[in-house]
Amino acid sequence: MAVNIYLGSNVIKYNASPAGNIAVGGINVCAAYVGAVQVFDNCAVANTNVQLQYTGNYGGNASGVIVENPVNNTLLSGQPGNTGTLILYTPTYPSSGYTCTGGCPDVNPKSIAYSFPSSGTTIINSARSGGLNSNVPNGTVNVTTNFTGATEGVEVTSDVSNSGTTTAAVGSSYSFTITYSVNSGYTGTITDPGGGTSGTYILSGYIPSGTTDLTVNLLSLIHI
């Protein structure tokens, strides 16, 4: 004999075959409790996934400031067969300093119906369009290293990421990773401007106008 559970006059559990379900607002619930006692268990099926992937690319030279909502590769998880609708919003970007090119940044469609697959991950897509150009002039930051107490290439070695230079809009952030080490055949320590001796130093800041040359001084105490 079928046994149903009601919320008011609405059936929220239908004792179907082979397994019943409890649904709230159209979403299946796999377990239910009364206090600490489990009164319903239909969680044997593992959750599956739906993943959002945006297609295409934005035009212009300032796509890095465009913010998508939800973000690319957003992952939803739920019981196989359950359905839903993912709502996407118009991407945002700074209100000044930029000009739309080929239309302002957008994604379509903005409403995507989905169903969780029987296994694995289902991909849903929305296409990018438009783009941004920066109206802000570019600046350049060049970074070099200087060792005190040792000769680079002999006792010590360093490397600066981005080949030691970056060019981008004035006011945007920059970050260089400086790695340094004592060469084989020598022992000692190298201390970076932050007081560290780990072999890695991060130099970051904001790009000023024009060209800026920066030097990272490394104090070396080296012996054979």
Q: Assess contact for 21 and 28: CB atoms under 8 A.
A: yes
Query: Which pLDDT value is given to residue 63?
Result: 86
Task: Dump pLDDT digits (tens) for 137-154.
Answer: 889 999 999 999 999 999
- Which tokens belong to 91? 């991407």
φ and ψ at residue 43, rounded to 5 degrees: -100, 20
When pLDDT is averaged across residues 175-199 and rounded to a whole number, the result is: 95
Structural domain boundaries in the chain: 10-41, 48-134, 138-223
Reported as a single tens digit per residue, the pLDDT across 81-127 is 999 999 999 999 988 889 999 999 999 999 999 999 999 999 999 99
pLDDT at 17: 44
Question: How many Å apart are CA 140 and CA 205, to the nearest integer?
Answer: 12
45-65 core/surface letters (b: 16 or more CB in 10 A; e: else): eeebebbbebeeebbbebbeb
pTM of the model: 0.50
